[in-house]
Structure 1
Amino acid sequence: MLVSDVMTAFPAHIRLGSTIRRAAEVVSVSEVGQLMVIDHDGRFAGSLSEEDLVRAMLPGFDDVTAGGGTLADAFRIFLEKGRALADRVIDPLVVRDTATVSPADELARAAIVMVERGIRRLPVVDEGNLVGTLSRADLCRAVIYHS
């Protein structure tokens, strides 16, 4: 069985140069934990996870202790930092050395890569173009419907 047999076509994606606010909106609406990032020519550039977004907004220990040290203070600082970063571009947060698979790759190979590297969603790239994603849920569907 091939990646193309079970991949999700038309994955949630965002372009380089988009704002952190826009990325948060797309994550929220699409309900995926990882966005694929394409460049201005429509070519695959990397990925951006919700974890990357949240980590960028998390206050440091020194920030929290300087702000009072309570959980309420930490959350307030988190919100303030999020508002301050909202209009910045995502480019520095994009993971560019992302593992990818081809639609013609064997599904078993992709599954091994995902498990060994702890990846939840792999970009499916064909000649530099993003053509889909392969998630762990896609793998589970393959087992259920093709056994």
Structure 2
Amino acid sequence: MKITVQDLMTTDVAAVHREASFHAVAELLMSAGVAGVPVVDDDDHVLGVVSEADLLTKAEFKQRYYGDAYRPPLRARIRHVAGVGRHEPAGETAGDLMTAPARTIAPMASIVTAARQMDRHGVKRLPVIDADGRLIGIISRHDLVKVFLRSDDDLLRQVKNAIRADALGLSVTVAEGLVTISGAFPEPSQPDTALRLAQGVDGVVAVRHSLT
């Protein structure tokens, strides 16, 4: 059985209302020990995400209004002028400061989908929403790494089921996530199929074989 976002997500989510003050957001980030939190409305619909970077953008641009010689990096200035994905850094509430729309994911999505979305959008966490767009959890890169901590016994059972090892008389061993398969198949296409199925089991680090 494939592991889904629902299996790994954190359900006790630190989130802020869109009317939360700058100070309240900063305080929550520090107390929760996280770099970003979802921003929600009165019905817990996810509107965006506010992060340490969003708060620091405000601090960066504040300097230039006091005649400071500091100039924010070109990338930051472009984001400020273009307003890409966020409001002006002068905002005072989470709704003003957040990056929107939020990159979200459904609870039944695979962990592969979650990893690809994080990589594609350059984010470290994804709010998990139900069919109505309400916040029900959050999944982070840290959560995804947990899948590689599955026990060897658990992986052995799933790999053997996936490739029908017992029915085909194949030998399978697992040591620290590394799967070794040996045996013979009646059809030439079967070894490649077995390797793909074994590698597709969530938590498998690599597959070694001596299949014929």
Normalised by the length of structure 2, the TM-score is 0.56
- 2:111 is matched by which residue type in structure 1? L
1:79 aligned residue: none
- Cα deviation for residue 57 of structure 1 reads 1.6
1:49 aligned residue: 51
2:22 aligned residue: 20
Q: Which has the larger radius of gyration?
A: 2
Change in 2 beyond 3 A, CA 1:11/1:58? same
Contact 2:16 2:94 in 1 (8 A): no
- Cα deviation for residue 63 of structure 1 reads 4.2
Contact 2:8 2:144 in 1 (8 A): yes
2:102 aligned residue: 98
CA distance in 1, matches of 2:99, 2:138: 16
CA distance in 2, matches of 1:87, 1:51: 14
**Structure 1 vs Structure 2 CA RMSD:** 2.3
Q: How does 1:82-93 map to 2 (within 5 A)?
A: 88-93=92-97
CA distance in 1, matches of 2:35, 2:129: 19
- Percent of counterpart pairs with the same letter? 27
Q: Deviating runs (4+, > 3 A) in structure 1? A: 59-64
Q: Please give the secondary structure, in 2, of the residue aligned with 1:96.
A: coil
Normalised by the length of structure 1, the TM-score is 0.79
Structure with a larger share of its residues in helix? 1
The answer as to 2:128 corresponding to 1:112 is no
Q: Please give the secondary structure, in 1, of the residue aligned with 2:103.
A: coil
Deviations, residues 77-96 of structure 1 (Å, cap 9, x unaligned): xxxxxxxx999222111222
Deviations, residues 63-122 of structure 1 (Å, cap 9, x unaligned): 46x24x48xxxxxxxxxxxxxx99922211122212111001111111111112211011
Tell me, which stretches of 5 or more residues in structure 1 are unaligned? 71-84
Number of equivalenced pairs: 131
Q: How does 1:1-147 map to 2 (within 5 A)?
A: 1-59=3-61, 62-63=64-65, 66-67=67-68, 69=69, 88-127=92-131, 128-145=133-150, 147=203
